[in-house]
């Protein structure tokens, strides 16, 4: 062992504190999550997603005037840009929606009139523009995959209502809008997760916000991270979803499936977390949103599948669900294609990512860790 290799390697940066952040606090001991000091459960119950976005960006709850100003801005910046639609239209309709989302943000950055301007006021406006513009990308992609036409945004609807309107071409029931809003608040921010840290690494080189968020989308696509909510649904589909099945029978089947999967040493997406070890603080609130969708659509068998998998994983390995686990079936019941689930995560996490981009830039240091060399000793040609 050379001197270098005797240093401790922190693979995956597990347990490494890379920097300060004032944006959110993930607390595995108390199983809690604070956005700018406020418990996420309170925010999910009491604030709109638009207000949570302003809290994450500005550090304080918005005044009524700030809220109204942002609402007017957001509602007037929702339309799908022609350049983005053209770029999406050259992609095959079965292109993975995460690739469509990544392409859309890249195009928005490429055509931005202030692309090279990374000043705080311009970056905050870019964040607000992306917040407003991304739902149309997700909605358009789901519709074109089904051979449906683009649905134009409506300025009389709030963010969540309009997102569902553009996707399904009809006004969603209040319960569905509420469950969707809760999911957006819960997905918004989670300290130095892989995609957020990616955004900070890119920002630390002084690259622009769109480059940072395009890179973050690449990181989020992986099934060990954001792609897990899509993978959860593939698990449910592999077990089989039968609306005529009783909740009890579904639970029995999914329990047996999990026992078999674990016996085969499979990693089951939607469970476990790098930071939370006694359960993800967001799950109870997201589970409540799932419960409301199961009741609204009368789909008790989905809850059965959910409960059976959770019980079997807990019994076998004591591993708890993460946010992606209840989020996947919730989006499925709302009618989103499974491949659209992680783009929904993008729509929400644009808020956290952009807040971290601005925080990194405000007190920057190039992120460049060391490595311990374990290749061949020096030798001559
Ligand atoms: C998100 O970081 C964030 O904050 C992310 C996120 C956010 O808001 O940004 O919270 C969103 O990404 C949530 C996580 C979504 N990912 C998944 O659901 C993928 C499945 N989960 C695992 O891959 C895993 O739990 C990780 C990647 C999330 C965390 O992995 P760690 O901390 O590196 O732990 P590990 O993979 O080394 O697992 C420790 C042990 C292992 O057992 P042994 O091999 O030591 O016997 O637990 C087992 C693992 O096999 N294990 C699992 C498991 N998760 C851990 N076994 C089966 N299925 C799983 N899901």
pLDDT at residue 1 in the model: 46
77 catalytically annotated: no
Mutate to test the pocket of ligand 1, among 273, 326, 349 (most ligand atoms within 8 A of CB): 273
Could you tell me the distance, in angstroms and rounded to a whole number, from the CA of residue 159 to the centre of ligand 1?
Answer: 32
224 lines ligand 1 (CB under 6 A): yes
Query: pLDDT per residue over 82-121, tens digit each?
Result: 999 999 999 999 999 999 999 999 999 999 999 999 999 9
**Ligand 1, pocket-test mutation among 272, 310, 329, most atoms within 8 A of CB:** 272
273 among known catalytic residues: yes
Distance from residue 274's CA to the centre of ligand 1 (Å): 6
Q: Which of 190, 210, 273, 356 is catalytic?
A: 273
Is the model's pTM score more than 0.75?
Answer: yes
Q: Decide: 346 in ligand 1 pocket, CB within 6 A.
A: no
Q: Distance between CA 341 and CA 354 in Å, rounded? A: 20
pLDDT at 109: 98
Centroid of ligand 1 to alpha carbon of 276 (angstroms): 10
Q: How far apart are CA 248 and CA 40, in angstroms?
A: 32
pLDDT tens profile 237-293: 999 999 999 999 999 999 999 999 999 999 999 999 999 989 999 999 999 999 999
| Distance of CA 340 from the midpoint of ligand 1 (Å) | 22
pLDDT surpasses 50 at 186 = yes
Does 273 contact ligand 1 (Cβ within 6 A)?
yes
Of the listed ranges 28-32, 189-193, 197-201, 294-298, the one predicted with least confidence = 28-32
| Atom 28, ligand 1: residue with shortest CA distance | 273
Ligand 1, atom 26: closest residue by C-alpha:
273
pLDDT of residue 7: 77
- Ligand 1 close to Cβ of residue 276 (< 6 A): no
- For atom 18 of ligand 1, the residue with the nearest CA is 270
Distance 322 CA to ligand 1 centre (A): 9
pLDDT in tens, 143-184: 999 999 999 999 999 999 999 999 999 999 999 999 999 999
């Amino acid at each position: 062992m050379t001197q270098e290799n005797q240093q401790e390697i922190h693979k995956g940066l597990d347990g490494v504190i890379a920097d300060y952040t004032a944006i959110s606090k993930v607390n595995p001991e108390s199983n809690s999550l604070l956005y700018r000091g406020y418990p996420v459960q309170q925010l999910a119950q009491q604030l709109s997603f638009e207000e949570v976005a302003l809290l994450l960006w500005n550090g304080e709850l918005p005044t009524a005037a700030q809220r109204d100003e942002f609402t007017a801005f957001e509602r007037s910046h929702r339309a799908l840009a022609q350049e983005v639609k053209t770029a999406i239209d050259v992609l095959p309709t079965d292109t993975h929606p995460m690739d469509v989302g990544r392409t859309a943000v890249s195009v928005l950055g490429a055509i931005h009139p202030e692309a090279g301007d990374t000043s705080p006021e311009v970056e905050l406006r870019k964040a607000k523009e992306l917040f407003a513009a991304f739902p149309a990308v997700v909605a358009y992609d789901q519709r074109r995959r089904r051979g449906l036409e683009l649905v134009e945004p409506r300025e009389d609807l709030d963010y969540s209502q309009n997102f569902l309107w553009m996707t399904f071409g009809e006004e969603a029931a209040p319960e569905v809008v509420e469950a969707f809003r809760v999911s957006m608040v819960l997905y918004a921010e989670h300290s130095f997760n892989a995609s957020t840290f990616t955004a900070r690494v890119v920002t630390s080189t002084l690259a622009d916000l769109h480059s940072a968020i395009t890179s973050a989308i690449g990181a989020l696509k992986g099934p060990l991270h954001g792609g897990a909510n899509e993978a959860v649904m593939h698990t449910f589909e592999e077990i089989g979803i039968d609306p005529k099945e009783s909740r009890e029978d579904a639970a029995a089947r999914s329990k047996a499936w999990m026992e078999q999967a674990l016996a085969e040493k499979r990693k089951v997406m939607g469970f476990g977390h790098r930071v939370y070890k006694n359960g993800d603080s967001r799950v109870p609130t997201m589970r409540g949103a799932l419960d409301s969708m199961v009741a609204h659509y009368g789909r008790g068998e989905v809850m059965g599948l959910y409960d059976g998998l959770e019980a079997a994983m807990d019994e076998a390995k004591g591993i708890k669900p993460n946010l992606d686990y209840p989020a996947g079936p919730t989006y499925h019941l709302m009618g989103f294609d499974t491949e659209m689930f992680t783009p929904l995560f993008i729509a929400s996490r644009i808020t956290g990512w952009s807040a971290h981009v601005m925080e990194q830039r405000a007190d920057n240091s190039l992120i460049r860790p060391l490595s311990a060399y374990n290749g061949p000793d020096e030798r001559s040609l």
